[in-house]
Amino acid sequence: MKIVSLSGGADSTAAAILLKERGEEFVCLFADTGAELPETYWIIPRIVRELDVKLVIVNGPTFYKRLVDWNFMLPGIRVRWCTRELKEKPLNEWIGAQEEPEVIVGIRADEDHRARTPKAAPKHAAYTWPLVDAGMGKQDVLRLCESRGLLNPCYKWRTSCSCFCCPFQRKQDWKNLLTVHPDLFALAEDWEQQSALSSKKTKGAWSDGYTLTELRLADERQMELFPECRHEPCTICAI
């Protein structure tokens, strides 16, 4: 069974389109964290409908449930619990239950250093990276998605399609979230404040060097003083 690990991002969408154009049969597998961007929930059903393929949705605990259960301990570079518990675990459980699964991952040719089998992957699963094999880079992927009308609209204002509260997003992405989805920014800001109040053991801010409240109140010159996130979103979330 061929399985496209679909995040709603351009890379995994392009991988699905490429397989469809080759006449291959596959299913799309999406792990719902409960904290996806509205644009992602909008584009996912359109992708599978346009390509006429089956969609399988899996989930662990929701982002909010996990946050509350752990006393508002925010995820970060040291503890990426969000990817591990909300993405990898439910995906691997479903993949592991299939016979001879082949997992298609949307890694581009210009980031082929990421093309490796995940450590926690089911032992009997094979992983392939058709975009790497096809030599497709970022612009090739964007053009292919746009040609089918399947490019996630979040790219108009954001650099990746990871969760709205991803701790690895750029400061401008946070600022744009405030403009495009002020309710989601307010929610992330409240969670951050709850984290700071709950325990000394929690990470009190999504980003190192500034809080969302400080970012919300900052002008452009002040924003320049805030450090940029030096870490990339997890591959499984951003493709």
User: Is pLDDT at 201 greater than 70 in this prediction?
Assistant: no
Model confidence band, residue 53 (pLDDT cutoffs 50, 70, 90) = very high
> Over the range 134-171, which residues count as b (16 or more CB within 10 Å of their CB) and which as e?
eebeeebbeebbeebebbbebbeebebbbbbbbbbbbb
Mean pLDDT on 116-120: 87
**Measured distance CA(86)–CA(57) in Å, rounded:** 12
**Measured distance CA(151)–CA(26) in Å, rounded:** 20
- Which CATH architecture describes the domain 2-155? 3-Layer(aba) Sandwich (3.40)
pLDDT in tens, 148-178: 999 999 999 999 999 999 999 999 999 999 9
Per the CB < 8 A criterion, the answer to whether 213 and 193 are in contact is yes
At 239 the pLDDT is: 76
Mean pLDDT on 225-231: 88
**Measured distance CA(91)–CA(73) in Å, rounded:** 23
Task: List, in sequence order, the alpha helices (H) in the chain.
Answer: 10-21, 38-51, 63-69, 81-83, 89-96, 130-133, 138-147, 171-180, 182-198, 212-217, 220-223, 235-238
Nearest to 151 by CA among 2, 16, 33: 16
Average pLDDT, the chain: 94
Per the CB < 8 A criterion, the answer to whether 6 and 58 are in contact is no
Which sequence spans correspond to the domains of the chain? 2-155
At 156 the pLDDT is: 97
pLDDT in tens, 203-217: 579 998 899 999 999
At 97 the pLDDT is: 97
pTM for this prediction: 0.94
At 203 the pLDDT is: 57
* Matching residue, tokens 């949705």: 57
At 169 the pLDDT is: 93
The region of weakest confidence among 48-57, 110-119, 192-201 is: 192-201
User: Which stretch, 133-147, 193-207, 208-222, has highest mean pLDDT?
Assistant: 133-147
**Percentage of residues of the chain with pLDDT beyond 90:** 83
Per the CB < 8 A criterion, the answer to whether 204 and 196 are in contact is yes
pLDDT in tens, 59-94: 999 999 999 999 999 998 778 899 999 999 999 999
User: C-alpha 113: how far from its chain's center?
Assistant: 18
Mean pLDDT on 6-13: 97
For 157, the token pair is: 């204002």
Per the CB < 8 A criterion, the answer to whether 162 and 154 are in contact is no
Pairwise pLDDT comparison (43 vs 230), residue with the higher score:
43
User: Is pLDDT at 200 greater than 70 in this prediction?
Assistant: no
Mean pLDDT on 88-110: 96
User: Is pLDDT at 202 greater than 60 in this prediction?
Assistant: no
